[in-house]
Structure 1
Amino acid sequence: MGATLMARRRRSLLPALLFTVFIIVPIIEIYVIIQVGQVIGAWWTVVLLVVDSIFGSWLIKHEGGRAWRGLREAIEDGRMPATELADGALILVGGTLMLAPGFVTDGFGILLILPFTRPLFRRLLAAVVASRITVLDVNRPGPQGPGQGPVVRGEVIDEEE
């Protein structure tokens, strides 16, 4: 599939993604909060949202610290910190979801942060990143990058010397 076709497809998905994030998700959150409030009462719903936020904050601090220590250790050991960077990104996204009031985003955020569910999302993140990487073969002739052709090796000669 050509790069321009893939770019067009991504651009066509953007309005649907924005509509979902800014319209559908808040409607779902309001619906769930109302349903929970009808079952346990308004005050208990507020208490549950506050307790959920406190637990999420503690979880972010705990797992974020663990991810930071893992990142430092990987760098000190001289190895590529791919897992640690993915964990940090997932904790950051999970923490951002925890900032939004509501049970659905909090639940999904907690799933991204928990150490036993994070490997599943790490694999998903790796698959998404891998699908967006473009690899160029500089030895293959034909239009493929800024130079749009084969690499010509040579030597630069300064005539003033």
Structure 2
Amino acid sequence: MFGRFLLLSLLALPLVEIALFIVIGQTIGLVPTLLGVLLTAVIGGLVLRWQGMAAVNEMRLRMSRGELPARAMGDTMLIGLAGVLLLLPGYFTDLIGILLLLPWTRELIYRLLARNFRVVEVAPGSYRNTQPDLIELDQDDWRTR
């Protein structure tokens, strides 16, 4: 079900972008529309550079303190996706990219994901066999006395 929704969304995305481009172009004119697309692409590149590095540094800091950087990894992923969406030409992807940059939007995404996933932490430890010592031999490896 989700696969079909994703496929239909990816097929509809160019149509939505073209329709928005036409509507915005008719409203504000061709040159401002093109400048808006170029501006958001530049902003997307800057976001990827600045915010992405800040999120990676936050991840490193948490790992050096021995903490699990799950939230920082999620932020890094969503901020990176936002930057890529801002780089893509089109106003719909720009809107989604801008929304992903907002902390409250990322919090909403985390809450939605938390409903559907269970977090399990695994700690290192040693295995201890509780069975008695058992030596397995082939028929040829032993003889009766």
TM-score by length of 2: 0.75
Matched, 1:112 2:125: no
Change (3 A) 1:117 1:17: closer
- Residues 70-93 of structure 1: per-residue CA shift (max 9 Å, x gap): 100000000111110111111122
State whether residues 29 and 104 of structure 1, in contact with CA within 8 Å, keep that contact through their aligned partners in structure 2.
Answer: yes
Which structure ranks higher in relative contact order (CA pairs < 8 Å, sequence separation ≥ 6)?
Answer: 2
SS of 2:68 mapped into structure 1: coil
| Counterpart among 33, 47, 50 of residue 38 in structure 2 | 50
- Structure 1 partner of 2:53: 65
Shift of 1:97: 1.9
Q: Aligned equivalents of 1:116 and 1:16: distance in 2?
A: 25
Structure 1: which 5+ residue stretches go unaligned?
1-11, 135-152
Deviation, 1:48, is 0.8
Equivalent pairs, count: 129
Identity %: 33
1:157 aligns with 2:135: yes
Q: 1:55–1:99: structure 2 CA closer, same or farther, 3 Å change rule?
A: closer
What are the ranges of 5 or more consecutive residues in structure 2 without an aligned counterpart?
A: 121-129
1:15 equivalent in alignment to 2:7 = no
How far the C-alpha of 1:104 sits from its partner, in A, is 0.8
